[in-house]
Amino acid sequence: METFLESNLKLVNEAAKLLGLSDISYILKPKRIIEVNFPARMDDGKIKYFKGYRVNYNDSRGPAKGGVRFHPNVSVDEVSALALGMALKTSLLKLPFGGGKGGVVVNPKDHSALELERISRGYVRALAFEFDPDIDVPAPDVYTSSREMSWILDELETIKSRHMPAVITGKPLELSGSLGRNYSTAMGGFYILQEYIKNKGMKPEETTIAVQGAGNVGGFLAKIAYDHGYKVVAISDSSGGVYDSKGLNIEDVLNKKLSTGHVEGGKKITNEELLQLDVDVLAPSALENQITKENVSDIRARLILEMANGPVTEEASSILYERGIDSLPDILCNAGGVVVSYFEWVQNRTGEIWSEEEISEKLKKSMTDAFKDVEQIKQDKGTSYKNAAYALALKRIYEAEKMRGNAN
Ligand code: NAD
């Protein structure tokens, strides 16, 4: 199977062809890859070393922006693919940022909260030269949250002897975080879905949705869609899913997940069965590489709303397109998180505090404008949503690089 990075680069090459750009050297490799090996003291008093990465993929349009992932499978290839995705996402949404990503090779489930605090602080001490509101701005990602962002902020501010809240986003409200950040990714994806069904003349109450993943993104997406009258017929977590053709009571399902750790409240199905459901919308909201060349022929949904990063490989995307199944790409669907991160950075730099309504309105405008831009290119070029989104994102990076004198 092609790797996430190979898949992303293939899409970039497709986009270049669509734009008639023959030389895209500036986007084929990250501008800066930093690997660190740093110590952290464990609860038994012993020192252990951890490997960490930060990739600043492209910063032609502004400081690198992107999360820090704590996961045992973190690799330089995965971090680079995610950093490239961030560069494209910030460009597509017209944010004055580039793309970055970081990670630590660690299984957080093997560590106490105190050890995770020392690991977070150790990671930042090793990378303090890189993180700065005008250079590279981290945020949470898989297995990191506002808790880790607080430790990272404190360590950086201690090293630099000054307050600098704009150096990191996804902070808690008490440390200059922004209202609406926790559900912003799901809300952004929901605004994209609303635009799509409006264009297709579909009605929410007649639209069935299956959501893979019940975490920050999938859980909030299911809840928001349910609250707006959509028929959410299936949802899953890592241990499997639940299904009801008449629509699940998502509030009950998510409450059960909170109390028991699993989704409950409908017929039990596997994650494979969820992907194969005959629904209007399939929203993979958990992991990368879920729809591949191997299982794409089993997909029966009419629309794929890519809420996770990289849930559909490039090969599978082409097959979906040939089969007439629309696939709205991750760089569009899940960009709501980085849009509200941008709002957080702006508030931190200006000292302003925006209301939740203000943030919702601005987010809605950013997402619907981006959807319309992509729809326009899709029509003009007669291509898929995915190729159109990548082309638009690449075009803006190319223009910035060209003006800087860094591209032919
Ligand atoms: P999360 O850890 O909160 O939730 C992940 C969910 O996926 C959990 O419910 C988990 O049980 C489920 N899951 C894990 N393995 C699974 C499997 N094999 N099958 C089905 N479900 C499985 O993570 P999240 O923040 O919701 O992120 C999900 C995806 O969205 C990731 O790809 C992430 O990179 C992407 N993303 C997140 C944000 C954000 O703001 N949180 C922004 C952009 C993109």
Residue 1 has pLDDT above 80, yes or no: no
Average pLDDT over residues 44-65: 98
Find all residues with CB under 8 Å of 38, minimum gap 6, and list them. 49, 50, 52, 122, 123, 125, 126
Indicate whether 365 pLDDT > 80: yes
The CA 213 to ligand 1 mean position distance, Å, reads: 6
Can you give the pLDDT at residue 117? 98
| Length of the chain (residues) | 408
Query: Which strands sit side by side in the sheet containing 32-41, from one edge to the other?
Result: 32-41, 47-58, 99-105, 64-71, 136-140
**Mean pLDDT, rounded, for 139-163:** 96
Mean pLDDT of 346-352: 97
For residue range 195-234, list pLDDT tens digits in order. Answer: 999 999 999 999 999 999 999 999 999 999 999 999 999 9
Mutate to test the pocket of ligand 1, among 142, 269, 271, 342 (most ligand atoms within 8 A of CB): 142
Q: Is the pLDDT of residue 342 over 90?
A: yes
pLDDT score recorded for residue 4 = 85
Structural domains of the chain in order of their starting residue, each with its CATH number: 32-167 (3.40.50.10860), 184-332 (3.40.50.720)
The CA distances from residue 150 to 67, 170, 206, 351, in Å, are: 14, 9, 43, 18
Tokens at residue 309, please? 């990063």
- Known active-site residue 246: no
Question: What pLDDT shows up at residue 15?
Answer: 96
Cα(65) to ligand 1 centroid in Å equals 19
Over residues 301-312, the mean pLDDT reads 96
- Kindly report the three-state secondary structure assignment for every residue of 9-62: HHHHHHHHHHHCCCCCHHHHCCCEEEEEEEEEECCCCCEEEEEEEEEEEECCCC
d(CA 130, CA 133): 10
Is residue 179 predicted with pLDDT exceeding 90? yes
Task: Give the pLDDT band of residue 3 (cuts 50, 70, 90).
Answer: confident
pTM: 0.96
The C-alpha angle with vertex 65 and arms to 79 and 214, in degrees rounded to 5, equals 65
Which protein residue has the closest C-alpha to ligand 1 atom 31? 308
Whether the predicted pLDDT of 162 surpasses 90: yes
CB 343 within 8 A of CB 178: yes
Token pair of 165 as six digits: 């809240």
Q: Whose CA is nearest to atom 4 of ligand 1?
A: 215
Average pLDDT over residues 42-52: 98
* Mean pLDDT confidence for 74-103: 97
Question: What type of residue is 318?
Answer: S
Euclidean distance between CA atoms 206 and 310, whole angstroms: 28
| pLDDT at residue 2 greater than cutoff 80 | no
The single-letter code of the amino acid at 99 is G
Q: How far is the CA of 405 from the centre of ligand 1 (A)?
A: 39
Tell me: pLDDT of 384 over 90: yes
State how far the Cα of 343 lies from the Cα of 189, in Å rounded to an integer: 17
Distances (CA, A) of 205 to 225, 303, 342: 10, 16, 33
The alpha-carbon radius of gyration of the chain (Å, integer) is 21
- Render pLDDT for 386-395 as a digit per residue (tens, 0 to 9): 999 999 999 9
Q: From the candidates 101, 378, 386, 395, which is the catalytic residue? A: 101
User: Would you state the structure tokens that stand for residue 78, as one six-digit string?
Assistant: 């995965």
Please give the distance, rounded to the nearest whole angstrom, from the Cα atom of residue 19 to the centre of ligand 1: 33
Nearest CA to ligand 1 atom 28: 286
Q: Give the mean model confidence (pLDDT) for residues 155-169.
A: 98
pLDDT-derived band of residue 18, with 50, 70 and 90 as boundaries? very high
Between CA 57 and CA 33 the distance in angstroms is 8
Ligand 1 probe mutation, 217, 305, 363, most atoms within 8 A of CB: 217
- pLDDT band per the 50, 70, 90 thresholds, residue 322: very high
Ligand 1 pocket, Cβ-based, cut-off 6 angstroms = 141-142, 185, 212-218, 236-238, 271, 285-287, 307-309, 334, 337
Confidence of residue 378 (pLDDT cuts 50, 70, 90): very high
The crossing angle, in degrees rounded to 10, of helices 336-350 and 184-200 is 130
Per residue in 258-290, pLDDT tens?
A: 999 999 999 999 999 999 999 999 999 998 899
Q: Give the bridge partners for 283, in sequence order.
A: 211
